[in-house]
Amino acid sequence: MAENSHHHGDLRNALIDSALALLTEGGRESLTLRRAAARAGVSHAAPAHHFDGLEGLLHAVAARGFQVFSDLMRQERAARPADAQNQLLGITNGYLRFAAEHEALFNLIFSEPMKNSGDADLIAASNEAFQILSETCALFEPDPAGPFVNEIRVWSTVHGYAILRQFDRLRATPDSAVVPVDLVLPRLVPRQRD
Partner DNA sequence: CGCAAATCTTGACACCGTCAAGTTTTCTGT
Partner DNA sequence: ACAGAAAACTTGACGGTGTCAAGATTTGCG
- Would you tell me which residues interact with DNA (CB under 7 A)? 1-9, 11, 32-35, 37, 42-46, 48-50, 53-55
190, β-bridge pairs: 140
Which member of 26, 81, 160, 190 binds a second copy (CB under 8 A)? 160
Q: State residue 82 phi and psi, 5-degree precision.
A: -85, -5
Choices 16-24, 25-33, 40-48, 60-68; region in contact with a second copy by CB under 8 A: 25-33
- The CA distance from 107 to 193, in Å, is 39
Alpha carbon 169 to chain centroid, angstroms: 21
Phi/psi at 51 (nearest 5 deg)? -135, 155
CB within 8 Å of 124: residues ≥ 6 apart: 63
Least Å distance, CB 171 to a second copy, is: 7
11 binds, among a second copy, DNA, none (CB under 5 to 8 A by kind): DNA
User: 81 vs 113, which CB is nearer to DNA?
Assistant: 113
Query: Bridge-partner residues for 144, per DSSP?
Result: none
Does 174 sit near a second copy (CB under 8 A)? no
Give alpha helix (H) positions in the chain.
11-26, 33-39, 53-78, 84-101, 103-109, 120-137, 149-166, 181-184
Of 101, 148, 189, 191, the one binding a second copy by CB under 8 A: 148
Judged by CB, which is closer to DNA: 75, or 111? 111
Contacting positions for a second copy (CB under 8 A): 27-29, 104, 107, 110-112, 114-115, 130, 143, 145-149, 152-153, 155-161, 163-164, 166-167, 169-172, 176, 179, 183-184, 186
